[in-house]
Amino acid sequence: MSGLLGKLRQRWKLVLGLSVAGFVASATLFVGGAAALAYTSTEEFCISCHEMKNNVYAEYKGTIHDTNRTGVRAICTDCHVPREPVALLIRKFQATGELYHHFVTGSINTPEKFAAKRYELATHVWQRMKETDSHECRNCHKSDKMSLELQTPKAQARHKKALVEGETCIDCHFGIAHHEPEGPGPRELFGTKTTKP
């Protein structure tokens, strides 16, 4: 009987040890993953490669999203990465494909190569914003909180028309933080009806 109890104790010790080890490993992965997500959402990370720092970030500097009378700034991730956990993870996973172009192909590693691919890169962003009804814009810009009386009559009319026609922010405001590339804009490329999630 004591041999059986000894074997049971050994099994329970093994189960307990494996459970503790599993918990520690899971907690480490969870905390490490959260830290990695937080770090890869910083402005410093976004501009750590020269392709971004010397091109789109240089254009962003001094725009209304960078410097304004209120001091409220939108950084790269505010406009290009969803805040919702599942959508954020999907976008971060998609972004790993962009690392291939950075480290392996070097497809945008010079100003000339970047300029040659600029329109293609912009259309990817525009398409994503059309598909989400400019969701990232709406994280900060709430249409029901806009003061219409502070808008010009022309802006008021355009916003009303955009609402009726099913347009989204990116249809008109696609050159607000970066230089507008040559070629058709989002409205011409994808039409005016947004695909609401």
- Please answer whether residues 130 and 186 qualify as being in contact, where contact means their C-beta atoms are separated by less than 8 angstroms: yes
| Listed residue (99, 107, 86) closest to 40, CA to CA | 99
Q: How far apart are CA 32 and CA 54, in angstroms?
A: 30
Q: Work out the number of other CB atoms within 10 angstroms of the CB of residue 52.
A: 18
The structure's pTM equals 0.79
119's CB contacts (< 8 A; 6+ apart) are 181, 182, 183
First vs last C-alpha separation in the chain: 64
pLDDT in tens, the chain (197 residues): 677 777 888 888 888 999 999 999 999 999 999 999 999 999 999 999 888 999 999 999 999 999 999 899 999 999 999 999 999 999 998 888 888 877 888 888 888 999 999 999 999 999 999 999 999 999 999 988 888 889 999 999 999 999 899 899 999 999 889 999 999 999 888 887 654 44
Q: What pLDDT score does 86 carry? A: 93
